[in-house]
Amino acid sequence: MRYGHLPAYSTGRPEASVTGRPTASAAGGRAAPPPGAAAGDSLPLREGRAVRSGSRCRHNGGMSDSPAPLADPHLVFDPVAGDGPKDVVVLGSTGSIGTQAIDLVLRNPDRFRVTGLSANGGRVGLLAEQAYRLRVRTVAVAREDVVPALREALAAQYGTSEPLPEILAGPDAAPQLAASDCHTVLNGITGSIGLAPTLAALEAGRTLALANKESLIVGGPLVKALAKPGQIIPVDSEHAALFQALAAGTRTDVRKLVVTASGGPFRGRTKAELADVTVEDALAHPTWAMGPVITVNSATLVNKGLEVIEAHLLYDISFDRIEVVVHPQSYVHSMVEFTDGSTLAQATPPDMRGPIAIGLGWPERVPDAAPAFDWSKASTWEFFPLDNEAFPSVGLARHVGRLAGTAPAVFNAANEECVDAFLRGTLPFNGIMETVTQVVEEHGTPRTGTTLTVPDVLEAETWARARARELTARTATAEARA
């Protein structure tokens, strides 16, 4: 739904296609193929370049006949930004990624200009303040019930001298905004609800700075079907690190990817020692300040399992060539081992503004985006093998990643429900992975193939959530009786 006084700014609302994928309207999306053009043919996106996924792509001066991976530092997907700042849409603007992105934009007005913001709607005061400081055209909220409060908060910021930005509200608001006229969409939404905006941005031909790993996990085949080579720039610290390190060689030079994990607050504990941990314990992350769901995912290492699947999808590397190591200091964000024995590590002090700057600015770097190391001071960098018995989530993630199709969606949805139950105090910590494992096993053979659609994914998610809620309710009842 639309609210406000300004005209629409080419929002290009996605509508369901026969395959379940969103299709962009003529206002903000990609034009339909001309008569006689094949569906897979490359079309111009605004006035920029589009490289068909099966085309020959240049890598470090050489040619590769294989399809390019989703994220490739050697390729630049470059809808023309013009001579001025890049127009950026920030999805999830009131969350951790969104607020840090806005800080980066405000410090670099010559490079970036935010045209639209989206949020769930729980912090309308902050959203209104962001909108005013950035003078955005459009504000989107998922919750329609907060529109009156949002309009009031905007009026308090803008006063009577300036028109208020357009307000979009409802479940389609973020996808509408993602398809609007801009250069780059930063998807900082948490959870699988980020899938629809991801697909809308790709369909509309926007560069996608992707922090929402769940949309790739849940909708991997759908994302791969829409994305052009170079269109996705990863914003996760680990995948931004891999992205930068991979620039040092060609795809055939890569032996394996090494994804680092802090180990979370429970590093070194056995499975038995994890049985009685509390919500407060799980939320006390030693390195990063994040939202509660992501922090619990870090404690269970589900986050790392999702990142293994994401690395496989982004870089087209088989699961047996993706390793996870524990690095408590979180200085090295990931590494690439090359066939000549060299290993390139990307390292910075823990600060998400660095990866965000890569996502928004690539192929250029943003000066002073984040702090650098002080090499005059001594520091210790440690690396340990992962304890798969205490933290089975990474192994389970590899399993569902190999199954592909709807299996990762089931894994992710069941985990989201179990984390919610844990945060409410109705499921023990070890019960998270025990329940997720049971849901994955009951799901059986996933639906796969090129015909996979958004409704297929949503159906699998709905079943997984319902089954996980069933199982967690039984656990809560059993514990209450004990």
Query: What is the token pair recorded at 427?
Result: 């499921």
* Residue 471 within any structural domain of the chain: yes
Task: Taking each helix axis as running N to C, give the angle between helix 454-481 and helix 429-443, from 0 to 180 degrees, rounded to the nearest 10.
Answer: 130
Q: Are 335 and 343 in contact (CB under 8 A)?
A: yes
Task: Provide the CATH number for the domain around residue 467.
Answer: 1.10.1740.10
For the stretch 140-145, contacts whose Cβ atoms lie closer than 8 Å and that sit 24 or more positions apart, written own/partner, are 140/116, 140/167, 140/168, 140/169, 140/173, 140/174, 140/176, 140/177, 141/167, 141/168, 141/169, 141/173, 142/118, 142/169, 142/170, 142/171, 142/173, 142/174, 142/193, 143/169, 144/1, 144/169, 144/170, 145/121
Cis upstream peptide for 363 (omega within 30°):
yes
Q: Are residues 156 and 262 in the same domain?
A: no
Query: Can you tell me the distance from the alpha carbon of 186 to that of 196, in angstroms, rounded to the nearest whole number?
Result: 13
- The residue written with tokens 């958004």 in the block is 454
Q: Are 126 and 96 in contact (CB under 8 A)?
A: no
Q: Are 406 and 454 in contact (CB under 8 A)?
A: no
Mean pLDDT over each residue of the chain, to the nearest integer: 86
Q: Exposure string (b/e) for 184-217, b if CB count within 10 Å is 16 or more?
A: bbbbbbbbbbbbbbbbbbbbbbbbbbbbbbbbbb
pTM (two decimals): 0.83
Q: Are 179 and 11 in contact (CB under 8 A)?
A: yes
Q: Are 27 and 12 in contact (CB under 8 A)?
A: yes
The list of the chain residues with pLDDT below 50 reads: 3-65
Q: Are residues 289 and 325 in the same domain?
A: yes
Q: Are residues 326 and 219 in the same domain?
A: no
- The residue written with tokens 């992350």 in the block is 285
Q: Are residues 192 and 272 in the same domain?
A: no
Torsion of CA 438, 190, 405, 307, to 10 degrees: -80
Query: Can you tell me the distance from the alpha carbon of 458 to that of 445, in angstroms, rounded to the nearest whole number?
Result: 16
* Residue 15 within any structural domain of the chain: no
pLDDT at 478: 65
Q: Are residues 220 and 256 in the same domain?
A: no
* Residue 372 within any structural domain of the chain: no
Q: Are residues 219 and 259 in the same domain?
A: no
Q: Largest alpha-carbon pair distance within the chain?
A: 69
Q: Are 464 and 409 in contact (CB under 8 A)?
A: yes
Domain boundary among 211, 235, 259: 235
Query: Can you tell me the distance from the alpha carbon of 157 to that of 418, in angstroms, rounded to the nearest whole number?
Result: 39
| Local structure of residue 456 (DSSP, 8 states) | H
Contacts of 426 (CB under 8 A, 6+ apart): 472, 473, 475, 476
Q: Are 232 and 211 in contact (CB under 8 A)?
A: no
Query: What is the token pair recorded at 118?
Result: 């989206």
* Residue 296 within any structural domain of the chain: yes
Q: Are residues 168 and 309 in the same domain?
A: no
* Residue 13 within any structural domain of the chain: no
Q: Are residues 313 and 214 in the same domain?
A: no
Domain boundary among 190, 205, 235: 235
**In this structure, is the dihedral angle defined by the CA atoms of residues 293, 328, 334 and 411, taken in order, positive or negative?**
negative
Task: Provide the CATH number for the domain around residue 93.
Answer: 3.40.50.720
In 327-459, which ranges are E strands?
332-338, 343-347, 384-385
Q: Are 284 and 267 in contact (CB under 8 A)?
A: no
Q: Are residues 209 and 258 in the same domain?
A: no
Q: Are 245 and 334 in contact (CB under 8 A)?
A: yes
Q: Are residues 125 and 81 in the same domain?
A: yes
pLDDT at 67: 66
Give the pLDDT confidence of 423-462 residue by residue, as tens digits: 999 999 999 999 999 999 999 888 877 778 889 999 999 9
Q: Are 306 and 368 in contact (CB under 8 A)?
A: no
State how many domains the chain has. 2
**Alpha-carbon separation of residue 184 from 35, 91, 160, 307 (angstroms):** 29, 11, 31, 22
What phi-psi label fits residue 263: left (phi over 0), alpha (psi between -120 and 50 degrees) or beta? left
Q: Are residues 220 and 262 in the same domain?
A: no
Decide the pairing of beta strands 384-385 and 322-326.
Answer: antiparallel
Q: Are residues 304 and 215 in the same domain?
A: no
* Residue 281 within any structural domain of the chain: yes
* Residue 230 within any structural domain of the chain: yes
Query: Can you tell me the distance from the alpha carbon of 364 to that of 211, in angstroms, rounded to the nearest whole number?
Result: 19
Query: Can you tell me the distance from the alpha carbon of 242 to that of 244, in angstroms, rounded to the nearest whole number?
Result: 5
* Residue 285 within any structural domain of the chain: yes
Domain boundary among 178, 203, 235: 235
pLDDT at 82: 63
Query: Can you tell me the distance from the alpha carbon of 262 to that of 260, in angstroms, rounded to the nearest whole number?
Result: 7
Residue 336, domain extent? 251-345+388-481
Give the pLDDT confidence of 315-369 residue by residue, as tens digits: 999 999 999 999 999 999 999 999 999 999 999 999 999 999 999 999 999 999 9
